[in-house]
Structure 1
Amino acid sequence: MTDARQPDRYALVADIGGTNTRVALCDGPSLLTETIRRYKNADHPGLESVIRQYFADEGAVDCSGACVAAAGPVRGGVANMTNLDWTIDGSTLARATRAETVGILNDLQAQGHAIGRIAPGNIRSVVPGPDGAAGDKLVIGVGTGFNAAPVHETAAGRYVAASEAGHANMPIRTEAELRLCQFVETAHGFPAVEDVLSGRGLERVYHWLGHEAGDPSERSSTEIMTALASGDDPRAEEAARLFTRILGTVAGNLALIHLPFGGLYLVGGMARAMAPHLDRFGFKDAFRDKGRFAGFMQNFSVDCVEDDYAALTGCAAHLSGSA
């Protein structure tokens, strides 16, 4: 940064995932992309350590505020990470950043606050909807885990409700899906949506397909996606197809629950990786396969957010009060 780092001008924002934490500065609602840095969570015992490293790397700044997005439930201002042994509270965040104002959001809440601030070039259409549709929206996160958050526009401003949708039971429509459910349940004790619709979920689907074929083998989600692109592993394509169909079913269920006439937005690393394949693997058909409500499902559009820093943008917007 070439500016003088005026006291109380900038705020710190962070997106804490299950694997990595991204940290940046913002000037009001504007994210300063040149200040974004990423840290591996495994290298740090907690968020304070990450922030200390960030200030060492980026340079000291007198923060006016700080807001973090955590991949886990937030209750009473305390975030408990779902896939990471970290607990984050306001006093810890204030101490680490020396900020006067702090905020802690669920990661999907932050993504919800970013909607409307994403560059059009970072939005990929998955399922078209009615032109000019307005109303509430729904953000669905598919990455290290799975979650969803409805976005409500109110007279008092935008409100993004938190949830832990990824820990609901996975849907079952076919005999094969029932066997997949039983396979997941045997290994993990409960067949949750996140156990299939996530990075590790894709790995389980691939493993299950090998188990079904009497030829068990395992590959990482990265290896599966690489094989999908190269076309050298039919099982990778079969796993991605099943993943896509279940994602369509779950997204359709959530659309009927929340009625997001302003659109659904897929976010997260796995969503971005799968986005180019969703059409050919039947996402739209699965999304709209709701019997007598199939026609009604045409009221909902689905887009994929391909901005890796959307949660940071959402934190900045929330902190500035301009979301």
Structure 2
Amino acid sequence: MTPELSLTVVADVGGTNTRTALAHGGEVDAASIRRFRNAEHSGLDEVLKRFLGDAGVARCDGACVAMAGPVMDGVGRLTNLEWEMTREDLAACTGAEVVSILNDLQAQGHAMDHIAGEKQRVIIAGPEAKPHDAKLVVGCGTGFNAVPVFRTDTGRYVPPCESGHVTLPVLSDDDVSLARHVTRAHGFPGVEDVLSGRGFERCYTWASGTDTHLPSSEIMAALEAGDPVATKAARAFVTALGRVMGDLALTHLPFGGIYVIGGMARALTPYFPELGFDEAFRSKGRFSDFMDRFAVWGVEDDYAALVGCAQHIRGLMVSPAERG
């Protein structure tokens, strides 16, 4: 079976839901996409067997799953659910000869060259990218992570990262105060302790100066209504996001663009101009002008991880000379 005619199964596995689909030669069959509630199943193998059985597929040529958690030595573990999958397990439950397990943001990285234009919007304009320029994918939703995407003559490479667990940058007295506040969560002021859904809620508690806790949806409603506490919380969040993304840009030099995904980033993007995202991103002292080299895009494609899985597994089925 040639890669272009291959039948593969792909899955995007989160803590609450798993999306599955069939793909042909790296192209996801949109009509085949299904969503399963994880609470109704004992593990990912059960989900995949049910999906393939319902689709009438006895075996497939390849299988690739993206998991919301760390992947090491071919073993993926969900962060917020006690599910584990090994390459051997994946081959056994799908019948596939070629298998791969990715972190969910890695899968997003493999999709970046295949996202439709209408699913992207400019946040910060930048120069036109060259074919082999590096890209950076930033995920800010339930959690936070960022991965570089390198396109070379031998294929696309998306190394795993845990960018959400580095130290939160602090510059002002307010930054120090917020860092001390979020340290209560895990004893360390990590980036994800602010830049995530739970982090947004911590920002609100900090901004209120009380123990008041609101879910992120209610904070967004208060922000839309012009509430000053919600505005202070959102400004702290957006400023931190700009600084962290600027740091990551200088670390990886993604002249091909920075692509932001995730529900929290998507919800707050309309407020970026008034809350100082651009200034926080560019404010790098003598390197501030250098930051003009990086375009920032918002991505709104709920199935990008499935596309990335399909493209990645197709790439594993071709020879190095054929990869691109």
Could you state the TM-score of these two structures normalised by the residue count of structure 1? 0.91
- TM-aligned CA distance change 1:85 to 1:292, over 3 Å: same
Asked whether the equivalents of residues 126 and 279 of structure 1 are also in contact (C-alpha less than 8 Å), the reply is no
1:117 to 111, 114, 118: 114
Whole-angstrom CA distance in 2 between matches of 1:87 and 1:265: 29
Residue matched to 2:318:
none
Residue matched to 1:303:
297
Report the residue type matching 2:32 in the other structure.
T
Residue matched to 2:143:
145
Residue matched to 1:82:
79
Q: CA offsets, 1:127-185, max 9 Å, x none?
A: 11113455111111111111111111222111111111111111111111111111111
Whole-angstrom CA distance in 2 between matches of 1:43 and 1:192: 33
Aligned-residue offset at 1:81? 2.2
Q: Give the number of the structure whose residues are more often helix, by fraction.
A: 2
Aligned-residue offset at 1:265? 0.7
Tell me the matched-pair count: 312
Whole-angstrom CA distance in 2 between matches of 1:308 and 1:275: 17
Whole-angstrom CA distance in 2 between matches of 1:61 and 1:32: 17
1:222 counterpart = 2:188: no
Aligned-residue offset at 1:9? 4.5
Whole-angstrom CA distance in 1 between matches of 2:239 and 2:188: 21
Whole-angstrom CA distance in 1 between matches of 2:58 and 2:231: 48
Whole-angstrom CA distance in 2 between matches of 1:157 and 1:56: 33
Correspondence 1:86-165 to 2 at 5 A: 86-133=83-130, 135-165=133-163
- TM-aligned CA distance change 1:58 to 1:199, over 3 Å: farther
- TM-aligned CA distance change 1:123 to 1:199, over 3 Å: same
Whole-angstrom CA distance in 2 between matches of 1:56 and 1:232: 51
Q: CA offsets, 1:237-272, max 9 Å, x none?
A: 322221111000000000011111111111122222
Q: What SS does structure 2 have at the residue aligned with 1:34?
A: helix
Q: What SS does structure 1 have at the residue aligned with 2:238?
A: helix
1:284 to 255, 278, 283: 278
Aligned-residue offset at 1:83? 2.8
TM-align CA RMSD: 1.8
Whole-angstrom CA distance in 1 between matches of 2:310 and 2:55: 18
Whole-angstrom CA distance in 2 between matches of 1:157 and 1:60: 29
Q: What SS does structure 2 have at the residue aligned with 1:280?
A: helix
Whole-angstrom CA distance in 2 between matches of 1:226 and 1:287: 26
Residue matched to 1:205:
203
Asked whether the equivalents of residues 129 and 255 of structure 2 are also in contact (C-alpha less than 8 Å), the reply is no
Q: What SS does structure 2 have at the residue aligned with 1:307?
A: coil
- TM-aligned CA distance change 1:50 to 1:299, over 3 Å: same
Greater Cα shift, 129-138 or 282-291: 129-138
Whole-angstrom CA distance in 1 between matches of 2:40 and 2:218: 24
- TM-aligned CA distance change 1:58 to 1:274, over 3 Å: farther
Report the residue type matching 1:301 in the other structure.
A
Report the residue type matching 2:258 in the other structure.
L
Greater Cα shift, 87-96 or 37-46: 37-46
Q: What SS does structure 2 have at the residue aligned with 1:271?
A: helix
Report the residue type matching 1:228 in the other structure.
L
1:243 counterpart = 2:240: no
Identity value in percent? 52
1:189 counterpart = 2:183: no
Asked whether the equivalents of residues 64 and 102 of structure 2 are also in contact (C-alpha less than 8 Å), the reply is yes
Correspondence 1:20-39 to 2 at 5 A: 20-39=17-36
- Extract unaligned runs of 5+ from structure 2: 316-322
Runs of 4+ with >6 A deviation:
none
Report the residue type matching 1:208 in the other structure.
W
Whole-angstrom CA distance in 2 between matches of 1:89 and 1:81: 12
